[in-house]
Structure 1
Amino acid sequence: YHLHVRPGEDVIEQLGGLHKFMAWERPLLTDSGGFQVFSLEGFRKVDDDGVEFQSHVDGGRRKLTPERAVEIQWTLGSDIAMAFDHVIPGGADEATARDALERTLKWLQRCAKRHRELMERGNDGMTNTFQHSNIPSFRQTLWPILQGGTLPALRTESLDRVMELGPWTGIAIGGLSVGEPKDKMYQTIDVLEARLPATLPRYLMGVGFPADLVAAVERGVDLFDCVAPTRGGRNGSAYTPEGTLNIRNAAYRTDDGPLDPSCDCETCTTYSRGYLRHLFVAGELLGLRLLSLHNVRYLIRLAAEMRAVIQRGGDAFATWADDWRRRYQHTGVA
């Protein structure tokens, strides 16, 4: 959605595709725009054909259909493209959840059909080679998104019907972290965990707080995306092993220590808490960037640590997760 609105997928294609555009020689995943359009409450109209919405950039009316969503992602040149889905708010009633589920399944069939057509066209430029990664070259693949609110019966039905439309190379759990109680989110993942194919990567969309990542990995999730680390960073909130730290607090005014002594990011190895607090108090944009970089690095390190623990096997992860929560959630920093 965002790259379609600005600068436009055609501009990015002319500049060599998304990898070259952002100088990232590793796999890239793009969302279809379903969640972004969902966030435009009051500026969109949904029907079986697609979504008509008003651009937040120029105010113009635009139409996004399943076919168009696939075409945009194909033009961008991402490695994993997501099917167009109908996202509903947390706590939606069964009738609303059923309607969104049925529409998402119909849209998935249209997305898959259009993606097959583009694949059959034979565009060699869509095969990406990653010079700085151990990921093998592959052509763009399309992943489906499960919907169904927090209703167990609808969620399992969504999974069963999506799998009938495969085969797929990965599968996403959508429609969570959209206002529902946290325990409902975890319960929904619990319902799906045993039924999800063990051979497919499991992608939980829109979830990114550290405690949620640990809880979701306990439930078999592999992949996440979220604006939380950068949004929090822009507001002075930093992730640390002892919990979340608010760098704006006056206690850090003369603190010459690093933001997180255990972190190897540029922010923590270069600048003091006192300096970072000064940047935020003074309204300097550098502060927003430095805390965002740290939070992203924190999550990368957390994911690496979880992978290492999982490889130990047995009950290692359950023990580690309990210890991690005890430190992160109960120690607490201001």
Structure 2
Amino acid sequence: MHHIAGNIVVARPELDLRQLHAFVDLAEELHFGRAAARIGIAQPPLSQQIQRLERRMGCRLLVRGGGARLALTPAGRAMLPAARQALAELEAGLGAARRAARGQTGLLRIGFTPSIALTTLPPLVRDFRQRYPGVAVQLSEHTSAAQLEMIHAGRLDLGFLRDPPEDAGLSRHTVAHEALIVLLPRAHPLAAARRVALAALAGEPFLLVRAAAGPSFRTRLLGFCREAGFAPVVAQEAGEWSTVAGLVSAGLGVALAPASVARINLPGMVHRPLVQTLHSEIVLFWRDTAADDVLRNFVALCEAASARGPAPRPRQRSPATSA
């Protein structure tokens, strides 16, 4: 058979893989009986395959030596390394295709909001990389709104959002419910309490994450305050939880935050659980139309992790040790 490359007609060799395998086995054994036993066929079919291959190539590859032993011709010696390489590359290609079909290789692009990097994301990514070492994981930090836009546009495969809005065009799975805590300046009177009632924060200067960083989460926090009977006095806003924690440490106000923010350990800040049980929802989003096995494997891992239950919460210090 021929194919045309530009204006040049190039001959394309058509070799039967069974014949190529038979040649390599016979060239390595140099004995029809041993090669036939290695392949698992009788000697006559093996001899026929070699004859067909030689006719296709137009030259002899093996000749009789002394007794039953064979010898490679110069053409056979030249052919053997090429045949080995062709079969090895074909086997490697088939293996790579099967791994890709099972979602064991490829690229996974994951978006996340900053606070989620302190909680559920690291163990999930670590477990996924251990289970699928052939998949390259690309992590990028974005606001909730930016993640939803990028998932729709195909620039992210999936995203971790906190208290996100509904999006009918995307699939979602709730990964975790994270408790909310109070961040207090170390010298604040409420720092002596083991737990803080949300209503006790009425009139306190509040430090909030900007609406652009997480509008749904901010709305949820403000709603909790209204249910407790007050509207928070917003003293300052910040784009990151690390900045909010720094402002609390500086004594500029108090904050409601996900429990994972307690891992930001600053000398001027303490954290206390709330009397009420208030939570923030961490949700994984991906496109309904996605047919990527890599993505499906990651979603399955997240679903299994959720079924096992929440990860341990950050240890709360007692007032005696943190005051």
* TM-score, with structure 2 as normaliser: 0.23
